[in-house]
Structure 1
Amino acid sequence: MNGAPSLSVVLATHNRRDVVLATLNRLRVPGVLPAAHEIIVVDNASADGTAAALARHDVRAILLRRNRGACAREYGLRSARAPLILMLDDDSFPRPGCVERMAEHFTRHPRLAAASFLAHLPDGSQECSALPHVFIGCGVGLRTAALRACGGLDLSFFMAAEEYDLSFKLLAGGWGVETFDDLHVEHLKSPAGRRSDRIACYDIRNNLRVVARYLGGEHAAAYRHDWMLRYRWLAERHGHETANARGERAGRFRALIDSCTRQRRLPPWALEGVFGWSAIERRLRALAESGARRIVLADWGKNVYAFVRGARAAGLEICAIADDRFAAPGRCYRGLPIVQVDEALGLAVHAWVVSNTSFVHADVTAAALRARTPLPVLNWYGLARSDSLSAVRRSAALHAHG
């Protein structure tokens, strides 16, 4: 296109020529992108003719000499010419009208740095981040000025948890990161080129790095323990123990370097916004004051520590954590048995608390439980509303006052 674009679309690909070409065709559907746009495709040293195919399309192709993984999109982010960027996977694309609404959110909220989409998967399920105020890489709008101020994707991550790192950088810089329920992206999860063992290795390695960079003290110790346990159990379930062990070793080494040289630490308001320790504890204290004494936590989510910590501070007895994915004979988390939902339904408790801060999964869990038990099912992390911008307003106030 001629002239300055209003939107830069950035994606990366590696040896998935047919996949990325199909995505480019879907981006050309009327109503998907504004007229004044540019598309930047970063080719990760593909050997399947991707570069030649891209040359026949109206895109800016950045050809790398080696594979830099999902973080190769950083090269596209750096070269983007528009004030707003839409970052995608090579097999994801927004629904018509959503990019226009995305731009409206950025106009309405000048301290918004990242507007995350809800991802829709082929099986009909939805996907979002495990934590609030963290975007998903398969569909997110980014403010170019915020990236220039705070930095973009860290190439050393290669893949996995790079969204956490960038989200936390933006939050630490006083910007807002939000998910909007009126922004939708289709994510096909094309299997070509996906190696689950490699993902298992990078998952734990990079999550340990995120902890080292942004958390301190008791919280760093707690989440380092929890996330190592989480990814170890996931690896056992999928037969990736060797890859996970390799990732743990690499993660400990890189985390040590990061903790010494790349400390960023999130400010208290951002930590609370992401992990919700105080808010969760307040709600659990209110539950205890209402007369409840015994509860079940539903879901061994990535932030379950906040619920266990809060319940114990409130004097509540946690009888079990119910999660069919992670339940196993004799398996415990911080002294609490992890059991099947069927078993937990037979326990004598006063209430169920959904202990998952991934709002898509929290809603699914809450709905399933409400169909099976007459007891209260408390879900404090339902779908975010489009005007749910407390973190943006808070960060704007902090920025205005210094």
Structure 2
Amino acid sequence: MSTNTASTSAISHSPVDAAPAADAPGPRKAAWAGVVSLGLGIFTLVASEFLPASLLSPIAADLGVTEGVAGQLVTATSIIGIVGGPLVVSALPRVDRRTVMVGLTTLAVISNVLVAIAPVFGLMLASRLLLGLAISGFWAMSLAVTSQLVPADRLGRAMTIVNTGLSLATIAAVPAGAVLGDLLGWRTVFLGAAAVGVIALTVQMATLPSVPPTGAPGFGTLVRTAARPVVALGILSVVLIAGGHFAGFTYLRPAFESIGEVTPSTLALLLAVFGLASFAGNLAAGPLADRRLGVLLVAAPTAIGASMVLYALWGANPVVAVAVVSVWGAGFGAVPTMIQTWMARVAPDRLESAGGLIVAAFQTAITIGAAVGGLLVDSVGVQVAFLGGGISAMLGGMVLATARRR
């Protein structure tokens, strides 16, 4: 209790914009190759998560299920992600973190191989649960591991490298899966994902140094971390920002199609603009998080929320739609690095538990945002879903600003 009190007191008297002190715990020499290997791991895991979205029809036909049932292959990874991150962090309190990260990547490789050879849908679904555990655990641990690979005042830039894997996977996985699935078959695509996983695994084994666990172990630490008021406000802000985003993002296609005279090529362009803007936002977030975190905490949620509101009001104009989607994508692309860097400032002694809570919050936000957005789209229209999502994102930014002042 005395440690927690001292930590909270120190945080409350230091601005969040300031990088941690130069003598904060960390290595003498940055292991940037190890950081890159974590980004490669994130790319492999997230790309594997999204692959079924582009392969539902052939998977359903081959395994004798409906496309709706096959779609649960994506849902399964998200659901397990709500508990997977905190579970991995708490259940392995004393294991070298290099071993944990390598083990989780190995689990993803095994999952993809099992999916590729699965003769029945049940085995395939169980294999995807393994992937969900690997993704949530890897992402939850990435903040604490990265913090031990680079100096404290370069953590934002390092997390940008890690999250670049997330951005690239989001942009490339679905179209690549569709093209390769048509050429080679869906099972070969998953074998290919397993091969990429082996490459990531090899790089991790070659570049990641031994990383000792940080903080007190166990589920009790996770609960005590979540109970800290400033951390609780941060987790609430994640649910509001990401939930608001996914209330609209999940229904981008019907929203785009509501614009008059949108051709398939225009639709593809709008989606590409969003993906590229998200990638650019992630790249910009690292330096901003290291030097001007307070500005980023306000700018990113505002960009998301204001863009969604503007789209709901004036998205019928294609030029406006492209501009708004660009700002929206850039804002959301900055969110993962922004949240992770902020959490490292307010809970530097609980990075592993904080990472698990962030993952659980994001997965919860995806589930709630998509569900509430769907209800709004079906009952009152896609514009209202965008308005509600935009207001939620901006409210999340206000909550984060309140947490920053605390």
Q: TM-score category by the smaller chain? A: under 0.3
Query: Which is greater in Rg?
Result: 1
Q: Quick check: which one's helix share is greater? A: 2
Q: Quick check: which one's strand share is greater? A: 1
TM-score by length of 2: 0.23
- Bigger relative contact order, structure 1 or 2 (CA pairs below 8 A, ≥6 apart): 2
